[in-house]
Amino acid sequence: MSGGEVAIGIDVGGTKIAAGLVEITSGRVLSMHRVPTEPEMGGEAVLRKCLDLAGRLAEEALAAGTCLAGVGVGVPELVSPEGSITSNQTIDWRDVPVAESFGRIAPAGVESDVRAAALAEARYGSGRKCYNFLYVTIGTGISCTLVQGGLPYRGARGNALVLASGKLTCWCERCGGFAVTVVEEFSSGPAIARRYADLTGDSAATSEKVLALAEAGNATARAVVVSAAELVGGAIGFAVNILDPEVVVIGGGLGTAGGTYWEHMVRSAREHIWSEQTRGLEILRSELGEHAGLIGAALVGWRAGRAHGVGHEEER
């Protein structure tokens, strides 16, 4: 580990917490630790895990003689422009002083995980050459954010990230009623595993297993994967129609998996883009992969440090 400027990034997911020291100049992850999230234990228990990880990493930074610029936390929740967590879909940290708790270690900031990952892609990854791009993450959940000038757009309330969690309602002429679909409940990793289990009785199946079976030619798995990919592709195409980004960057474990899911998702996205001029835009995989959220969280912490006069690395 070098003696340069670093920040701690903590990427809190539904199944695991990844925390690491990130070199701000390069975006390189210098040290990383993972622990299970166990959200069923409650918000306070999850917070204690995160604080323990941050304390351990702060000690590593001190031992290495590096300048610790800040601590950033990315969460799978809605986060207001002021940094307050306003939803409890995965972890109930509403009204919990999360940033203040980490502020005892270093200047701290909190951001939604999709915006944190997009921030990293804008500085170090697939979006670094773009002024404007749409970042979409597909994994346990599905969300997106528009990035302009290197910064994700938050919206008036911090809620400009909901791509697939709300209801889509349309009239079905065949059945004579309204069809209601929630894309995330059909196309995310857990949804793919659940749908396959419902069809086969294999309750132990994971999304990774279903994708592998689809690639191996299993008809049931392929039907589940193709339909999931086509539905989320349509949602991406709809977002492109509204936002008209230069490119789309896809992240998340499922979003970057490749194979059948990627192929049908991209094709469906293009089929749902209305303008021929836009239809050929680049749809890129995240260059930072599974580390995007952690690196982005570190950038959130670094930016908090700069706001407090800590650090010397320049914004770009």
DSSP codes, 71-101: EEEEESS-B-TTS-B---SSS--TT--HHHH
List the alpha helices (DSSP H) in 134-187. 184-187
Closest CA to 163 of 236, 93, 76, 255: 236
Q: How confident is the model at residue 308, as a pLDDT? A: 77
CATH topology (fold) of 5-125+291-307: Nucleotidyltransferase; domain 5 (3.30.420)
Radius of gyration of the chain measured on its C-alpha atoms = 20
Contact assessment for residue 66 and residue 3, using Cβ atoms and an 8 Å cutoff: yes
pLDDT at 4: 80
Domain 132-286 is found in CATH 3.30.420.40:
yes
| 5-125+291-307 and 132-286, same CATH topology | yes
Render each residue's pLDDT in the chain as its tens digit; 316 residues.
555 899 999 999 988 999 999 999 999 999 999 999 999 999 999 999 999 999 999 999 999 999 999 999 999 999 999 999 999 999 999 989 999 999 999 999 999 999 999 999 999 999 999 999 999 999 999 999 999 999 999 999 999 999 999 998 988 888 889 989 999 999 999 999 999 999 999 999 999 999 999 999 999 999 999 999 999 999 999 999 999 999 999 999 999 999 999 999 999 999 999 999 999 999 999 999 999 999 999 999 999 999 877 665 565 5
Given a contact cutoff of 8 angstroms between Cβ atoms, the answer to whether 74 and 13 are in contact is no
HSE-CB at 277 with a 13 A cutoff on CA atoms is: 4
pLDDT of residue 210: 98
Domains in the chain: boundaries: 5-125+291-307, 132-286
Alpha helix (H) ranges present in the chain? Answer: 43-64, 98-102, 113-124, 184-187, 189-200, 207-215, 219-243, 259-272, 276-279, 292-307
Check residue 312 and give its pLDDT. 56
